[in-house]
């Protein structure tokens, strides 16, 4: 077993699903701890369950970690390369009487549990039957009947289990593959992991992990830190079925990796000065495992959106354009539209995926018309016809040379007055006059600042759309 002067931590995904936000938070906290302490952060792919494994997900998990701007040290360990080590450990357990062969099928175990009532699980049926290995037989670890197993958790303090409540667990399946806890403890010891930082769902498995390690004579006691569970707004544990949990989904939805990683850092930890939005380099400096709280952390998508919006606004305009461009349809026109409107769009979006719908009227020949927006601004809005007529007349008088956000605004002000949309002291009610013009030009009720948008759209397209809307209104 290698020993190490510096902390060594690991992230140990089972490649049975995408990297979800809970897994990403575990990666991040391991990474932060390693970078903060000058330690090493290793990866271990726990791919021993050959039936549930999806090998193609391994690269996807690496991709998501890299996308978040995180990295790891050395080459990842694959448990599928280490079956011999686990079988050897299983043999040792069996030889020393710490494990026994069991012939019960899952159905039998379940049926007996149902019959006796109470908690489900294995009843020790084969404990003293003296069975040897054979077809359909699994090796079970024999947990002690007496005593307690305890450990100190950096996040939760002292955690103690009565051994008699621990079920005899399968360590080697009947198909010869090792189960999670056996491989997990063998490898943590072998890799010299000093701090096991992982999700709360592993607390209950920890006494078994320790007992197996002791039975193998590993003399191994890492520091544990079990991170709080992530919950939704109803305080339910995040679920892969119900909630959006894959990191790649957030990427596709236009979240910036810097924002995502900053937000993930706040799930169970907070900086001492309360400044939540800050670069990763600062978080590394401030991060302390001791400051992680045990209470469930609310994965708040609205807050994530807010954080993302802040990061988007903080980008240099060119950077914003480059990143948002990947969310546009192909072609020159969308790209030019984005370039022209970038600073204004950047102020208004919470995700990059919102960019196209904000400006698509600039490249679509016929932008989609939002029926509700039409009804509100054109049918029920006061003076829509008059505003459109006056705006058309005013804009027609403007040549291409005079076409700018400023002159368009002046035309709209005059149109408001013509249409009788005036407030106190005869001031034109510009917002009211803008509503029908915006719907005519963009098809929508909301969008980027209208005068700038009309300047970019240009004279011909603007006049064409205003005329079409006016005709439609009758
Ligand atoms: N393969 C386990 C999981 O994905 C790892 C648990 C651990 O970090 O020890 O949950």
Question: pTM for the complete prediction?
Answer: 0.93
- Establish whether domains 8-78+230-304 and 82-227 are of one fold: yes
Q: Evaluate: CB of 78 within 6 angstroms of ligand 1.
A: no
List the chain domain ranges: 8-78+230-304, 82-227, 365-474
Closest ligand 1 atom, CA of 201? 10
Q: Is 184 in the pocket of ligand 1 (CB under 6 A)?
A: yes
For a mutational test of ligand 1's pocket, the pick from 22, 179, 199, i.e. the residue with the most ligand atoms closer than 8 A to its C-beta, is 199
Write the residue with the smallest CA distance to atom 6 of ligand 1: 12
Nearest of 272, 276, 255 to residue 68 by alpha carbon: 255
Alpha-carbon distance 308 to 287, whole Å?
21
Tally helices (H) and strands (E) across the chain: 19, 12
Report whether residue 188 contacts ligand 1, using a CB cutoff of 6 Å: no
Q: At what angle do helices 257-265 and 301-314 cross, to 10 degrees?
A: 130
SS3 assignment, position 70: coil
Alpha helices in 326-419 (DSSP H): 332-346, 355-359, 371-374, 384-397, 405-418
Q: Does residue 48 line the site of ligand 1, with CB under 6 A?
A: no
Whether the CB of 306 sits within 6 Å of ligand 1? no
The pLDDT of residue 243: 76
Cα 44 to averaged position of ligand 1 atoms, centre (Å)? 9
Q: What is the whole-number distance in angstroms between the Cα of residue 259 and the centre of ligand 1?
A: 25
Q: How far is the CA of 4 from the centre of ligand 1 (A)?
A: 22
CA of 21 to the centre of ligand 1 (A): 14
The topology (CATH level 3) of 365-474 is: Arc Repressor Mutant, subunit A (1.10.10)
> Does the CB atom of residue 12 touch ligand 1 within 6 A?
yes
CA of 198 to the centre of ligand 1 (A): 7
Of the candidates 99, 110, 185, 109, the one whose C-alpha atom is nearest the C-alpha of residue 139 is: 99
Residue 161: strand pairing partners: 149
Residue 198 Cβ inside 6 Å of ligand 1? The answer reads: yes
Distance (Å, rounded) from C-alpha 460 to C-alpha 82? 69
Q: Which one from 114, 208, 237, 240 is the annotated catalytic residue? A: 240
Catalytic site includes residue 427: no
Identify the CATH assignment for 82-227 out of 1.10.287.950, 3.50.30.30, 3.30.230.10, 3.40.50.620. Answer: 3.40.50.620
Counting atoms of ligand 1 from 1, which one is nearest the CA of 23?
4
The answer, yes or no, to whether any atom of ligand 1 lies below 6 A from the CB of 49, is no
Per-residue pLDDT of the chain (474 residues; tens, 9 = 90+): 455 689 999 999 999 989 999 999 999 999 999 999 999 999 999 999 888 889 899 999 999 999 999 999 999 999 999 999 999 999 999 999 999 999 999 999 999 999 988 788 899 999 999 999 999 999 999 999 999 999 999 999 999 999 999 999 999 999 999 999 999 999 999 999 999 999 999 999 999 999 999 999 999 999 999 999 999 999 999 987 777 799 999 999 999 999 999 999 999 999 999 999 999 999 999 999 999 999 999 999 999 999 999 999 999 999 999 999 999 999 999 999 999 999 999 999 999 999 999 999 999 999 999 999 999 999 998 899 999 999 999 999 998 888 999 999 999 999 999 999 999 888 999 999 999 999 999 999 999 999 999 999 999 999 999 999 999 999
CATH class for the region spanning 8-78+230-304: alpha beta
CA of residue 173 to ligand 1 center, whole Å: 18
Calculate how far, in angstroms, residue 396's C-alpha sits from the geometric centre of ligand 1. 68
Q: Is the CB of 202 under 6 A from ligand 1?
A: yes
Which ligand 1 atom sits nearest the alpha carbon of residue 184? 9
- Atom of ligand 1 lying closest to residue 180 CA: 1
For the chain, the first-to-last Cα distance in angstroms comes to 84
pLDDT in the model for residue 118: 77
User: What's the confidence (pLDDT) of residue 425?
Assistant: 85
DSSP per-residue string spanning 413-455? HHHHHHTT-B-GGG-B-HHHHHHHHHHHHHSSS--S-HHHHHH
SS3 343: helix
Does residue 160 contact residue 204 with C-beta atoms inside 8 Å? no
């Amino acid at each position: 077993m290698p020993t190490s002067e510096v902390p060594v931590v690991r992230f140990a995904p089972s490649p049975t699903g995408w990297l979800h936000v809970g897994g990403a938070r575990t990666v991040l906290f391991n990474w932060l701890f390693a970078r903060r302490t000058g330690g090493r952060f290793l990866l271990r792919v726990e791919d021993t369950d050959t039936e549930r494994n999806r090998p193609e997900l391994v690269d996807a998990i690496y991709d998501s970690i890299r996308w978040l701007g995180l990295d790891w040290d050395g080459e990842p360990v694959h448990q599928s390369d280490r079956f011999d080590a686990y079988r050897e450990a299983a043999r040792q357990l069996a030889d020393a009487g710490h494990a026994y062969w069991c012939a019960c099928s899952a159905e039998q175990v379940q049926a007996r549990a149902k019959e006796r009532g109470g908690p489900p699980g294995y009843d020790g049926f084969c404990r003293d039957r003296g069975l040897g290995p054979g077809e359909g037989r699994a090796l079970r670890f024999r947990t002690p009947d007496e005593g307690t197993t305890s450990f100190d958790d950096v996040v939760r303090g002292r955690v103690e289990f009565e051994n008699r409540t621990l079920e005899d667990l399968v360590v080697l399946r009947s198909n010869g593959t090792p189960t999670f806890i056996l491989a997990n403890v063998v490898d943590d010891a072998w890799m010299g992991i000093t701090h096991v930082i992982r999700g709360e769902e592993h607390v209950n498995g920890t006494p078994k992990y320790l007992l197996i390690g002791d039975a193998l004579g590993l003399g191994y006691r890492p520091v544990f830190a079990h991170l709080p569970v992530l919950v939704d707004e109803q305080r339910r544990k995040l679920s892969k079925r119900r909630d959006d949990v894959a990191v790649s989904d957030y990427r596709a939805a236009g979240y910036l990796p810097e924002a995502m990683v900053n937000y993930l850092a706040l799930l169970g930890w907070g900086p001492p000065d309360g400044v939540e939005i800050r670069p990763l380099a600062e978080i590394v400096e401030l991060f302390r495992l001791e400051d992680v709280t045990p209470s469930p952390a609310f994965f708040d998508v609205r807050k994530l959106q807010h954080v993302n919006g802040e990061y988007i606004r903080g980008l240099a305009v060119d950077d914003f354009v480059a990143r948002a461009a990947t969310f546009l349809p192909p072609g020159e026109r969308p790209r030019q539209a984005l370039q022209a409107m970038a600073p204004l769009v950047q102020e208004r979006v919470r995700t990059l995926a919102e960019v196209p719908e904000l400006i698509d009227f600039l490249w679509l020949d016929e932008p989609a018309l939002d029926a509700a927006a039409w009804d509100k601004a054109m049918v029920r809005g006061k003076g829509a016809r008059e505003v459109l007529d006056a705006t058309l007349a005013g804009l027609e008088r403007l040549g291409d040379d005079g076409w700018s956000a400023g002159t368009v605004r002046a035309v709209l002000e005059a149109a408001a007055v013509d249409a009788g949309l005036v407030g106190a002291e005869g001031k034109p009610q510009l917002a009211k006059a803008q509503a029908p013009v915006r719907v005519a030009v963009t098809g929508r009720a909301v969008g980027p600042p209208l005068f700038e948008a009309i300047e970019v759209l240009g004279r011909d397209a603007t006049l064409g759309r205003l005329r079409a809307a006016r005709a439609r209104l009758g």
